[in-house]
Amino acid sequence: MRRAVMIGTGSALPRRQVSNAELARTVDTSDEWIVERTGIRNRYVAGEGETTSSLATEAARNAIEAAGIAPSDIGLIILATATPDQTFPATATIVQAALGVDDCVAFDVQAVCSGFLYALSVADSMIRGGSASHALVIGAETFSRILDWEDRTTCVLFGDGAGAVVLKAEDGGDRGVLATRLHADGRHNQLLYVDGGPSTTQTVGKLRMKGQEVFRHAVTNLAQVLREVMQDAGLTVDDIDWVVPHQANRRILDATARKLGLPAERVIITVDQHANTSAASVPLALDVAVRDGRIKPGDLLVLEAMGGGFTWGAAAIRY
């Protein structure tokens, strides 16, 4: 059986860190409120010259180096983002050019915070279908550029960054993507959205969210999709070494783990340092845990995310 095996991970963050205390100097909020309600202590914010494509390119270079392949080996680049450099061309093609990959398939996927799960699932299908032997799957965002910095209910929650993985087609063996599950329910698209766009306002717009309602849906949907993907892969909670969740809010992570009976110490948490980096959050957390030695070859991982749309998804992977 052909599988997409993860052979390298990488990530990138902007230079500038912004603590809760620094935010509280310009917004009516406090470190105590943000930590208690979200678990966030710090976020990174892109500065001059830093863009979604520049962060994505740096993360991709790190993943390619970790994988020990040449950029020219890559036949497929899928980049998940809701904050592309431009409306078009796809940011994936900007990354392709920056990496010096002459000819490959390259496109963006837009599923907001679940974008990386959507991109991973598409790449897995294309690899198993034989369209590429090496794929680069990236999640990269600069949400700081679509935040309303006067809206304390949203601006404290998000940050910028990028994460990437290299997938390789391998026949036989038990490593690789075992199962993926995706969902969308467009009835809820007014709970989390951006109030602009090329075809409506001809502006980029700002992020708007009804936080409490999103919270409620998130816990239910994430617990459901985690159960589904474990069932598809023939796994129980006891088989899982690490859950690598979308990093939106510490309370969502804790509530979801409790619902599934998952011990908190098997959940990778970076939301305190990075805040919510949307499509970048899962590959960023994954790279942190691979590089600090927690995630080891052979470990059973479950990745999950939920975002605007709503969209949500999960993947079971033997690393």
Ligand X SMILES: CC(C)(COP(=O)(O)OP(=O)(O)OC[C@H]1O[C@@H](n2cnc3c(N)ncnc32)[C@H](O)[C@@H]1OP(=O)(O)O)[C@@H](O)C(=O)NCCC(=O)NCCS
Q: Helices (H) and strands (E) in the chain — how many of each?
A: 10, 13
CB-CB contact of 182 with 12 (8 Å): no
Q: Does 249 bind ligand X (CB under 6 A)?
A: yes
Residue of 63, 80, 92, 113 interacting with ligand X (CB under 6 A): 113
Residue nearer to ligand X on the CB measure, 86 or 153: 153
- Token pair for residue 288? 């942190």
Decide if 155 is catalytic: no
Q: Does 10 bind ligand X (CB under 6 A)?
A: no
Decide if 188 is catalytic: no
CB-CB contact of 261 with 235 (8 Å): no
Integer Cα distance of 154 and 193 in angstroms: 12
Residues touching ligand X, count (CB under 6 A): 21
Residue of 35, 211, 254, 255 interacting with ligand X (CB under 6 A): 211
Decide if 113 is catalytic: yes
Integer Cα distance of 279 and 122 in angstroms: 15
Q: Does 284 bind ligand X (CB under 6 A)?
A: no
CB-CB contact of 138 with 77 (8 Å): yes
Considering the candidates 134, 188, 246, 274, report the single residue annotated as catalytic: 246
Under 8 Å CB-to-CB from 276, ≥6 apart: which residues?
A: 40, 113, 143, 157, 158, 159, 246, 247, 248, 249
Q: Does 215 bind ligand X (CB under 6 A)?
A: yes
Residue of 92, 109, 156, 282 interacting with ligand X (CB under 6 A): 156
Considering the candidates 62, 113, 188, 221, report the single residue annotated as catalytic: 113
In whole angstroms, the minimum distance from the beta carbon of 162 to ligand X comes to 17
Integer Cα distance of 257 and 118 in angstroms: 22
Find the binding residues for ligand X in span 39-98 (CB under 6 A): none
Q: Does 259 bind ligand X (CB under 6 A)?
A: no
Peptide bond into 89 cis (omega under 30): yes
In whole angstroms, the minimum distance from the beta carbon of 236 to ligand X comes to 27
Integer Cα distance of 307 and 284 in angstroms: 16
Q: Does 140 bind ligand X (CB under 6 A)?
A: no
Q: Does 107 bind ligand X (CB under 6 A)?
A: no
Q: Does 309 bind ligand X (CB under 6 A)?
A: no
Q: Does 276 bind ligand X (CB under 6 A)?
A: yes
Nearest Cα to 287, choosing from 127, 62, 119?
62
Q: Does 128 bind ligand X (CB under 6 A)?
A: no
Considering the candidates 20, 221, 249, 276, report the single residue annotated as catalytic: 276
10 Å CB burial of residue 201 (0-12, 13-18, 19+) is exposed
Q: Provide the annotated active-site residues.
A: 113, 246, 276
Residues that bind ligand X (CB under 6 A): 29, 33-34, 37-38, 113, 152-153, 156, 209, 211-212, 214-215, 218, 248-249, 252, 276, 306-307
